[in-house]
Amino acid sequence: MDQPIIEGIPGRYWHLLEDGRVQCDVCPRYCKLHEGQRGLCFVRGRLRDQMVLTTYGRSSGFCIDPIEKKPLNHYLPGTPVLSFGTAGCNLTCKFCQNWDISKARALDRIQDRASPEAIAEAATRSRCRAVAFTYNDPVIFLEYAIDVAQACRERGISTVAVSAGYITAEPRVEFFRHMDAANIDLKGFTEGFYKHLCSSRLAPVLETLEYLKHETNVWFEITTLLIPGENDSQTEIEAESAWIIDRLGPDVPLHFTAFHPDWRMMDTPPTPPETLRRARGIATKAGIRYVYTGNIHDPRGQTTYCHVCGVVLIGRDGYELTAWNLSADSTCIKCGTRCPGVFEPIHGRWGSRRHPVRVGGRR
Ligand code: SF4
């Protein structure tokens, strides 16, 4: 049984319905709640006739990761990023690869207490260039994520949202105004996939992607986890690629990553590496300039090539950088073509290390 709500900070984006219920307007689920009920995400709920966020300042743990693990290949390559999540999620993906956090129904999963200032300080201390909201979707804890982002900006630290982009129009504006980079999961390219495997909808995710491209300066990349027999057909990958070219242009990087059996899909086999390489070929043929494979060993599929002359711009083997052929102004050293993204003259050297850190105190 869900834990009763006993505390929370006031949440934004909700209103009272005529029938006495309170409707949360943060995401397209629009949960309608009686007193004491939680939304589907579990972390937002109704307490004393208003919506509250129950996980402000609480985390499931902090880890310094390579930025490439988010995945972001065109944002400060080689640098470390302080990563954390809370609990809960507003999607119900049967293939969730982080289900111990996203499906957490007991708040004992989130034992670390950390103020926004403590997180920003920890990032500075550990020489991280960014803080990433990851492991679960920051949309559901946007009040906390925004305060962390503000504390980070005051110290010159950027913030990265790893999100499914399942958010409504008004909070979308506020949330992404505080983010510097994002990786958005485009989980499939049919409404059927979203409905049957995530009990959600594709259209709001596409709206988020178009919003990011046309109305913000947030650097973003897209990830599609390919699941055998579910979203890996040639037709679907062609449709996704064509939409990206048409609505976002050729420069938004696309990552095809490998599924492994997890959560409610233990009987589905892992994605064969060949499926990822085939998808990369389809998207490249459609005109997307930077297409990557992930969760497999595939240095060729993880390397950034100049889309004009074909030279290796950034070589990668897993999360290790193996070559760097970008000039100080982010152009190809051979032909001078600009590579889109956020780069610095000297790349980071964090490599593939993963380093848990303690921030704040235990409950
Ligand atoms: S954010 Fe949570 S409570 Fe609000 S509508 Fe979405 S799932 Fe429901």
Question: Is the minimum distance from the CB of 27 to ligand 1 under 6 angstroms?
Answer: yes
CA of 27 to the centre of ligand 1 (A): 5
CA of 15 to the centre of ligand 1 (A): 13
Which has the closest alpha carbon to 137: 189, 108, 172?
172
Which has the closest alpha carbon to 93: 272, 265, 339, 335?
265
Question: Is the minimum distance from the CB of 24 to ligand 1 under 6 angstroms?
Answer: yes
CA of 110 to the centre of ligand 1 (A): 19
Both structure tokens of 108: 């004992």
Which has the closest alpha carbon to 284: 305, 270, 311?
305
Position 217 scores a pLDDT of 98
CA of 329 to the centre of ligand 1 (A): 42
Residue 265 has pLDDT above 90, yes or no: no
Probe residue for ligand 1, chosen from 26, 30, 103 as the CB with the greatest number of ligand atoms within 8 Å = 26
Residue nearest to atom 6 of ligand 1 (CA): 27
Both structure tokens of 8: 């929370």
CA of 88 to the centre of ligand 1 (A): 10
SS (H, E, C) 54-92: CCCCEECCEEEEEHHHCCCCCECCCCEEEEECCCCCCCC
| Three-state DSSP state, 297 | coil
Mean pLDDT of 252-264: 91
pLDDT-derived band at 362 (thresholds 50, 70, 90) equals low
Probe residue for ligand 1, chosen from 27, 142, 208 as the CB with the greatest number of ligand atoms within 8 Å = 27
CB 268 within 8 A of CB 236: no
Residue 114 has pLDDT above 80, yes or no: yes
Q: Which atom of ligand 1 is nearest to the CA of 14?
A: 4
CA 203 distance to own-chain centroid = 17
CA of 361 to the centre of ligand 1 (A): 28
**What DSSP letter does each residue of 104-123 carry, written as one string?**
--SGGG--EE--HHHHHHHH
CB 31 within 8 A of CB 23: yes
Q: What is the mean pLDDT of the chain?
A: 94
Q: pLDDT tens, 17-67?
A: 999 999 999 999 999 999 999 999 999 999 999 999 999 999 888 999 999
**What DSSP letter does each residue of 336-350 carry, written as one string?**
-PBPPSB--SS----
Residue 99 has pLDDT above 80, yes or no: no
Residue nearest to atom 2 of ligand 1 (CA): 41
Question: Is the minimum distance from the CB of 339 to ligand 1 under 6 angstroms?
Answer: no
Residue 225 has pLDDT above 80, yes or no: yes
Q: Which atom of ligand 1 is nearest to the CA of 33?
A: 3
Position 224 scores a pLDDT of 98
Note if the pTM is more than 0.75: yes
Position 105 scores a pLDDT of 61
CA of 86 to the centre of ligand 1 (A): 15
More confident call, 102 vs 185: 185
Residue 8 has pLDDT above 70, yes or no: yes
Residue 106 has pLDDT above 80, yes or no: no
Which has the closest alpha carbon to 185: 202, 171, 170, 172?
202
CB 302 within 8 A of CB 318: yes
Question: Is the minimum distance from the CB of 26 to ligand 1 under 6 angstroms?
Answer: yes
Q: Which residues pair with 142 in a beta bridge?
A: none
Cα separation of 196 and 265, whole Å?
13
Mean pLDDT of 255-265: 88
Residue nearest to atom 5 of ligand 1 (CA): 30
Residue nearest to atom 3 of ligand 1 (CA): 39
Q: Which atom of ligand 1 is nearest to the CA of 90?
A: 7
Q: pLDDT tens, 163-222?
A: 999 999 999 999 999 999 999 999 999 999 999 999 999 999 999 999 999 999 999 999
Q: pLDDT tens, 138-149?
A: 999 999 999 999
Residue 109 has pLDDT above 60, yes or no: no
DSSP state of 137: -
Q: Which atom of ligand 1 is nearest to the CA of 40?
A: 7
Mean pLDDT of 275-299: 98
In what order do the strands lie in the sheet containing 312-317?
A: 304-305, 312-317, 320-324
Probe residue for ligand 1, chosen from 21, 25, 29, 141 as the CB with the greatest number of ligand atoms within 8 Å = 29
Give the lowest-confidence range in 79-83, 259-263, 338-342: 259-263
